[in-house]
Structure 1
Amino acid sequence: MASKVDVQVEVKSPADKFWGAIRDSTDLFPKVFPSQYKSIEIAEGDGKSPGTIRIVKYAEGVPLVTFSKEKVEVADDANKLVSYSVIDGEMVNLYKTFKPTLQVIPNGDGSLVNWSLEFEKVNAEVPEPDLILETAAETFKDLDEYLLKN
């Protein structure tokens, strides 16, 4: 049975700027977060549209995963929303379904970043994705800090 968890992070960056960074994550994240991402490559598509497939290679020391293959399901620039499914990598050994959705919402001078995860564990022994949720929230805070400086 599928479950859903979510986290909301308030950031100081304007929504358009933060969304732009999310949309440029293929190039930006390995540069800004070298301790998390070794590389992000586009295997199919243009890197941003539905149907795009990206291969994310994680840095040494990242728990649980060395790589994941993601397929963009929804990319809605007007609503600053993106959703994708993990289709290969260690996560598919733990979760039958692993589908994050991210939306950036204007909030005064800053933004609210809503990140939710639909997932279905392969069995009861698989831990809840708390670490993944915490990592996502920290990444958004760190990205905000980077954007405010650059």
Structure 2
Amino acid sequence: MRTLKGEVMINVPAPTAWGMFMNNEVVSKINPQFLAEAEYLQGDGSPGSLRHFKLGPALRGFVKESTQKIEKVENGRLVSYSLVDGELRNMYDPYKITFTFMPEPGYEQKKCKAEWKADFEPLNPDVPPPEKAREAALDFLRSLEKFHCSV
């Protein structure tokens, strides 16, 4: 299994950032250019839930939709899921994503390190690592701060 990671520091407390990401109504408003709509097809965000993302115009040339099965949740800190449907399934299997929101020591009420991690296996040797997905995810995580400051 291969791994690709990225992280950004954002001026949002970890529990707040995690809550924004897990709330479909909020996450759909953060940056509609990247994520236009989120909904739980089954469940409520706990392990075993199915969550569907309709991606925005900034990503439509790459990925339009994805459905994930949530595997692990640590309230206020982490969510991990496996891709079960969408264009990336034609490129990788497995494709598991983890978003982690870690409080910044000394600034726990103000900042967190937001990390995106993909564990993946390309379906063939010509498939590149999911660099585009990483950059899109990091841009989206940066958008959490902008959205948080605007509300």
Report Cα offsets for 1:107-139 as digits up to 9, x if no partner.
Answer: 113111121110100011112211111111111
2:47 matches 1:50: yes
Of 21, 32, 35 in structure 1, the residue corresponding to residue 33 of structure 2 is 35
* Counterpart-to-counterpart distance in 1, 2:47 and 2:114: 21
The SS at the match of 1:82 is strand
* TM-score, structure 1 as length reference: 0.90
Measured in 2, the distance between the counterparts of 1:23 and 1:60 equals 21
Instruction: Name stretches of at least 5 consecutive residues in structure 1 with no aligned partner.
Output: none
TM-score, L = length of structure 2:
0.90
Aligned residues, how many? Answer: 146
Q: What aligned pairs does 1:66-85 form with structure 2 within 5 A after superposition?
A: 66-77=64-75, 80-85=77-82
**Other-structure match for 1:17:** 16
In 1, Cα distance between the equivalents of 2:142 and 2:36?
Answer: 20
The 1-side partners of 2:30 and 2:79 are apart by 20
CA RMSD of aligned residues (A): 1.4
Q: Closer, same or farther in 2 for the Cα pair 1:114/1:36, shift >3 Å?
A: closer
Give yes or no for the alignment of 1:131 onto 2:129.
no
Give the whole-Å Cα distance in 1 for the aligned partners of 2:65 and 2:144: 21
1:10/1:43 CA distance change after superposition, 3 Å: same
How much identity, in percent, do the aligned residues show? 29
Asked if the contact 1:58/1:67 (under 8 Å) is kept, the reply is: yes
Structure 1 residues 34-85: Cα deviation after superposition (integer angstroms, max 9, x where no partner): 2222322211111x1000001211234523211111100001116x111000
SS at match of 2:39: strand
> In the alignment, residue 32 of structure 1 is paired with which amino acid?
I
- Whole-angstrom distance in 1 between the partners of 2:72 and 2:146: 27
Question: Which of structure 1's runs of 4+ aligned residues deviate more than 3 A?
Answer: none
SS in 2 for 1:13: coil
CA contact (8 A) 1:9 1:141 kept: yes
Distance in 2 separating the partners of 1:50 and 1:138: 26
Q: Relative to 1, partners in 2 of residues 1:39 and 1:88: Cα closer, same or farther, differing over 3 Å? A: same
